[in-house]
Amino acid sequence: MTSEFVRSLLAIAVVSLIVGLTMPVPAQSAGANPPAAGNLPAAPSASAANPSDAPAKASTPPVIAATGTGKIGTINMEYAVGGTNEGRRDFEALDKKLEPKGNELKAQKDELDNLQKQLQTQGDKLNDDARATLVKQIETKKKSFERSYQDFQEDGQNQQKEIFQRILSKMAPVIVKYAQDNGFAMIVDTSNPWPQSPILWYGEAGDITKAVVDLYNEKSGVPAPAAPGAAAKPAAQKPPATKPATPPAQPPK
């Protein structure tokens, strides 16, 4: 996974699932808090016009309650889902699936940029008819590109959201069981930094992200994806060290 992250607001409620799994202790959740999304389609770039590689982020419960002694743990749900062998495999496959359309969009944008550059450098040298024709051509291609760009983003976001929700629904009971087995009374999601989330500070000692990823990988039986040009390697020792932050590039104006 090698490209940038993109923000998006996704709405998939999983609080009821978590609450059902954590009885008899009720979840003290203030509601779903949509963290930043990853792996959403970005605008075509010079290097590659495919979506980024962190998972699209569904809304996750900020708090998971479990029976325990009062110990509070943390988990970065974004890294947890994206760090599983299943998540890495499925998001990388989606990247490859969307890459041809991304390359097509890049070609459209390059053509549009060239026409706009031509208008800027030669517009005053063209007669009225030639200039009007060029302007009309630019407007038509710009509208076509913007429609295609929007469809590409929506399609990629929907597919990434489906992958994230599917893995999250299977990961929820793994988190709850780990919390109960290890004496945690509460697990909070640290996907978003303060002030986007109510968590001001937390220490690494209580972070269970890697442990949950390892348990999920063991339970799923999905092997770690092979690196390009290399044999498959064991799962990473910790979640991907990246954080969604970069907004999508906008279509040309």
Whole-angstrom CA distances from 85 to 114, 151, 232, 236 are 42, 29, 11, 9
Other residues' Cβ atoms within 10 Å of the Cβ of residue 142: 18
Q: Residue 161 and residue 67: Cα distance in Å, rounded?
A: 30
The pTM for the full model equals: 0.62
Quickly state the pLDDT bin for 22 (edges 50, 70, 90). Answer: very low
How large a percentage of the chain has pLDDT more than 90? Answer: 50
Q: How far is 40 from 223, CA to CA, in rounded Å?
A: 24
Inter-residue contact 238 to 214 (CB < 8 Å): no
Token digits for 17?
A: 């699932």
For residue 88, pLDDT beyond 60: yes
Percent of all residues in the chain with a pLDDT value above 70, rounded to a whole number = 62
Give residue 215's pLDDT: 96
Side chain identity, residue 154: E
Sequence-distant (≥ 6) Cβ neighbours of residue 227 within 8 angstroms: 233
- In Å, how far are 84, 122, 139, 159, 213 from 164, measured between CA atoms? 11, 49, 37, 9, 14
Specify the range with the lowest mean pLDDT, choosing from 45-54, 166-175, 198-207: 45-54
As a whole number of angstroms, the distance between CA 2 and CA 39 comes to 10
Say which residue the tokens 């906008």 belong to: 250
The mean pLDDT of 166-184, rounded to a whole number, is: 94
pLDDT of residue 246: 35
The pLDDT mean for the chain works out to 73
The one-character DSSP state at 196 is: T
Three-state SS at 102: helix
Q: What is the DSSP string of 119-180?
A: HHHHGGGS-HHHHHHHHHHHHHHHHHHHHHHHHHHHHHHHHHHHHHHHHHHHHHHHHHHHHH
Other residues' Cβ atoms within 10 Å of the Cβ of residue 147: 11
Kindly report the number of other CB atoms within 10 A of residue 48's CB atom. 16
Q: How far is CA 67 from CA 182, 197, 203, 237, in A?
A: 10, 24, 21, 28
- pLDDT of 186 strictly over 70: yes
- Nearest-CA neighbor of 58 among 153, 154, 158? 158
Instruction: Give the pLDDT of residue 69.
Output: 60
